[in-house]
């Protein structure tokens, strides 16, 4: 995969397709491979670029404080390096937070937003969840973190039916990630809030949630939907925080492509 140098680090990315740019921004502890099920579909119509954000995947992992603001600045530098002046942004969870931050700071560079399983602020319950994950990283490293995180991202039924697949993902995640970098990313999530500003956005926005999401329950998406005038909100049944499971890709890709076609 190619890399670009921005300020103090290299950012790794994967690119497929041609056309108007669509930037895919993964969530906490994920990387560009998260988008593997969706990318072949959307790249038929768009220049689709999935990056590894700071502290994740094959990008640089400096041991220093992170913030959603910094992730947004990284994205700006990344787009400049690729000579992209405007793009659609699609972000999952923490990636959705980065997309919101970026759109508020650089609305002229964003054609539309697609926000999956995300949040515009952290309430006490979500902060407690992040704190538990943070403590697991510190005490048990990436393996313990993954075991707790997977319970928050997929349904028990999915976990039971896909045990071998999840074990493979765990092995890859443990190998790829740095506990200290993930602690910094969790801290960034806990400090994030644009709830008092998000109503300023007037971009075409599609919000997608899993009905059984216990990590970022539906009220987080509902608040974003109520704040962004004319935004659209879709809820997928039978799925939790990670809406990118193979069983949901046909429904998810149809929602994404229909939205992008009119944005």
Residue pLDDT, tens place only, 72-97: 999 999 999 999 999 999 999 999 99
Question: What is the pLDDT at residue 7?
Answer: 85
Question: What HEC string does the chain produce?
Answer: CCEEEECCEEEEEEEECCCCEEEEECCCCCCHHHHCCCHHHHCCCCEEEEECCCCCCCCCCCCCCCCHHHHHHHHHHHHHHCCCCCEEEEEECHHHHHHHHHHHHCHHHEEEEEEECCCCCCCHHHHHHHHHHHHHHHHHHHHHHHHHHHHHHCCHHHHHHCHHHHHHHHHHHHHHCCHHHHHHHHHHHHHCCCCCCHHHCCCCEEEEEECCCCCCCHHHHHHHHHHCCCCEEEEECCCCCCCCCHHHHHHHHHHHHHHHHCC
**CA distance linking residue 166 with residue 234, whole number of Å:** 26
Which residues of the chain carry a pLDDT beneath 50?
none
pTM score, whole prediction: 0.97
Angle at 1 between CA 206 and CA 152, to 5 degrees: 45
CATH of domain 3-120+193-261: 3.40.50.1820
**What is the residue extent of each domain of the chain?**
3-120+193-261
Question: What is the pLDDT at residue 177?
Answer: 93
**CA distance linking residue 18 with residue 148, whole number of Å:** 38
**CA distance linking residue 40 with residue 24, whole number of Å:** 13
* 8 Å CB contact between 52 and 176: no
Helical pair 124-153 and 163-176, crossing angle rounded to 10 deg: 120
Question: What is the pLDDT at residue 124?
Answer: 97
Tell the burial category of 183 from Cβ atoms under 10 Å away from its Cβ (0-12, 13-18, 19+).
buried
Question: What is the pLDDT at residue 60?
Answer: 96
Task: Find, among 92, 47, 101, 34, the residue nearest to 74 by Cα.
Answer: 101
């Amino acid at each position: 995969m190619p890399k670009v140098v921005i300020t103090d680090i290299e950012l790794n990315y994967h690119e497929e397709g041609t056309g108007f740019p669509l930037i895919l921004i993964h969530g906490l502890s994920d990387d560009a491979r998260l988008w593997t099920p969706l990318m072949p579909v959307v790249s038929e119509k768009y220049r689709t670029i999935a990056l590894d954000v700071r502290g994740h995947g094959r990008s640089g992992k400096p041991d220093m404080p992170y913030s959603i603001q910094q992730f947004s600045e990284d994205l700006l530098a990344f787009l400049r390096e690729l000579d992209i002046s405007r793009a659609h942004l699609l972000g999952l969870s923490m990636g959705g937070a980065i997309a919101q931050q970026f759109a508020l700071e650089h609305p002229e560079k964003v054609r539309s937003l697609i926000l999956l399983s995300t949040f515009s602020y952290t309430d006490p319950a979500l902060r407690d969840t992040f704190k538990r994950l943070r403590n697991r990283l510190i005490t048990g490293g990436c393996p313990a973190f993954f075991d707790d995180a997977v319970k928050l991202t997929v349904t028990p039924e999915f976990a039971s039916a896909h045990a071998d697949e999840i074990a493979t993902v765990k092995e890859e995640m443990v190998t790829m990630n740095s506990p200290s970098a993930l602690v910094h990313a969790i801290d960034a999530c806990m400090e994030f809030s644009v709830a008092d500003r998000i109503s300023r956005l007037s971009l075409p926005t599609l919000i997608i949630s899993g009905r059984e999401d216990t990590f970022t329950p539906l009220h987080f998406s509902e608040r974003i939907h109520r704040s962004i005038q004319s935004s659209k909100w879709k809820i997928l049944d039978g799925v939790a925080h990670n809406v990118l499971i193979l069983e949901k890709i046909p429904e998810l890709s149809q929602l994404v492509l229909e939205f992008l076609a009119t944005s």
